[in-house]
Amino acid sequence: MNRFHSTRSAVTILRTFWVLLILVGVSGTSVLAQSPRQQRTPEEIQNRFDAATNEMIVALELTDEQKPLFMDIMDASNADRMKLLEDMRNGGDRSSMREKMMALNSTTTEALSSVLTESQLEEYNSILAERREQGRNRQRPNS
């Protein structure tokens, strides 16, 4: 009986070892399969910008007179934003870029205040705050 017990223990230890080995291998594979955040192509960025701007036009219920003015402001803002991001990718200072982005956001909002009604501007700021929060949640790792 002693011999049976030791054989049984050895089998149990081997099974446990193999299960652990498989689990480590599977978890290691999934970690390796997760690639770092891929940079988007300029076309993808433009498509996302266009979609977000169109969503904003609908959400703000812009009039036909407001739409081209809104688009002009947003296009100029996006061009400036893309330049800042490109500068950052080419070794720019992160804190300096943050300040420039905040200034750009203020300039954009100021320009929009001459096009949007007060309630539309409030809704615009609300949508931006919601998008910022969504962005923060995407950037945080799941714990």
In tens, the pLDDT along 4-22 reads: 555 566 556 656 656 555 6
Q: How many domains are there within the chain? A: 2
Is residue 3, in this structure, part of any structural domain at all?
yes
Residues 23 and 57 reside in one and the same domain: no
Residue 138, pLDDT score? 74
Q: What is the band of 93 on the pLDDT scale with cuts at 50, 70, 90?
A: confident
Is residue 36, in this structure, part of any structural domain at all?
no
Which pTM value belongs to this model? 0.65
Is residue 26, in this structure, part of any structural domain at all?
yes
Give the DSSP letter string of 35-90: PPPPPPPHHHHHHHHHHHHHHHHHHHT--TTHHHHHHHHHHHHHHHHHHHHHHHHT
In tens, the pLDDT along 120-134 reads: 999 999 998 998 888
Residues 70 and 120 reside in one and the same domain: yes
- Assess whether pLDDT exceeds 70 at residue 44: yes
Tell which residue, 134, 76, 84, 85, has the closest CA to residue 110: 76
Mean pLDDT of 23-41: 56
Residues 55 and 118 reside in one and the same domain: yes
Residue 81, pLDDT score? 87
Parent domain of 13: 1-30
Mean per-residue pLDDT over the chain, rounded: 79
Residues 48 and 26 reside in one and the same domain: no
